[in-house]
Amino acid sequence: MSLLLTVNVHGIGPEAATIPEAEIFGRDAHGRYTYRIGLSRVLDALRDYGLKATFFWPSSEAQRIPALLERCLKDGHELASNGRAFEDHSKLGADEDAVIEEAHDLLSRLAGTAPIGFRSPTGTLSERTIPILQRLGYRYDSSFLDDDAPYSLAQYGGAGMVELPISEGLTDATHFRRRVTQDRAEALLGEELTALLGVDGYACLTFHPRADIGIGRAARLPMLERLVRLAEKRGATPVLCRDAAEQTLTN
């Protein structure tokens, strides 16, 4: 059984996609927490817990905080692409190649190695997205909600690629957007985690370092370790997305 730990590195990017960055203040600035302390705190926790994760970086966020991206890599985590700047891939049309390539090239340059995993920044893809990623050497996508277990993307133009599906029930933002208490959020995450591992032996936890919808706050971070230990008690092994993809491709 496999447990994927994934982190979407979202700062002010979601707001900056529609609001000029200089105008992002007050409640619109929750994402700045990521830069000031949220992401560092998540990295600290993973180090203390002895865990590795796959970090999905929008290239725009990587440009804002290159030192934190460097730390992420030094700590042994996997870097994957989360697009350029929170664009809706279903609406990019002929510009999609350039957008994906720009993000890919920037992340490759900053990291010193090319990412092989992709997650849509808005959860939307076009029919062209997977073939573009396949051409660039990607091995997996992790954007879809249409299954509980990994599957081949060959029929969608992704020969040699797999889908590592996500679950809304295993995403911190799903629960914190609803303003549930931390205890309730953890209980819901735990219920979904236990159920999915029991059904398909696969689960993908997704976290954010933001202050509003994520686990970056000090009181929320311990749930990360407790959820991982819960999964381990059910027989699951934490693995990076790249390793889960290779396991799926070779089975």
- Model pLDDT for residues 168-187, shown as the tens digit of each residue: 999 999 999 998 999 999 99
Amino acid (1-letter code) at residue 75: D
Predicted pLDDT at 27 = 63
H-only helix segments in 90-143: 96-111, 129-135
Instruction: Tell me how crowded residue 41 is: count the other CB atoms within 10 A of its CB.
Output: 19
**H and E: helices and strands count for the chain:** 11, 9
pLDDT-based confidence at residue 221 (cuts at 50, 70, 90): very high
* pLDDT score at 190: 98
The token pair that represents 241 in the structure block: 């997305």
Question: Looking at the chain, how many residues does it have?
Answer: 251
Report the C-alpha dihedral over residues 218, 33, 119, 232, rounded to 10 degrees: -10
CA distance 142 to 145: 9
Overall fold of domain 2-250: TIM Barrel (3.20.20)
Region 95-99: what's the mean pLDDT? 97
pLDDT at residue number 67? 97
Instruction: Check if the beta carbon of residue 114 is closer than 8 Å to that of residue 108.
Output: yes
Best CA proximity match to 12, nearest among 54, 65, 71, 68: 65
First-to-last CA distance in the chain? Answer: 14
Q: Tell me how far the alpha carbon of residue 166 is from its chain's centroid.
A: 9
pLDDT score for 28: 62
Residue located via tokens 């809706």 = 88
Three-state secondary structure call for residue 234: coil
pTM: 0.96
Helix, strand, or coil here: 154? helix
The residue ranges of every structural domain in the chain are 2-250
Per-residue pLDDT band for 85 (boundaries 50, 70, 90) equals: very high
Low-confidence winner among 28-42, 134-148, 151-165, 215-229 (lowest mean pLDDT): 28-42
CA distance 125 to 144: 9
Rg (CA), the chain: 17
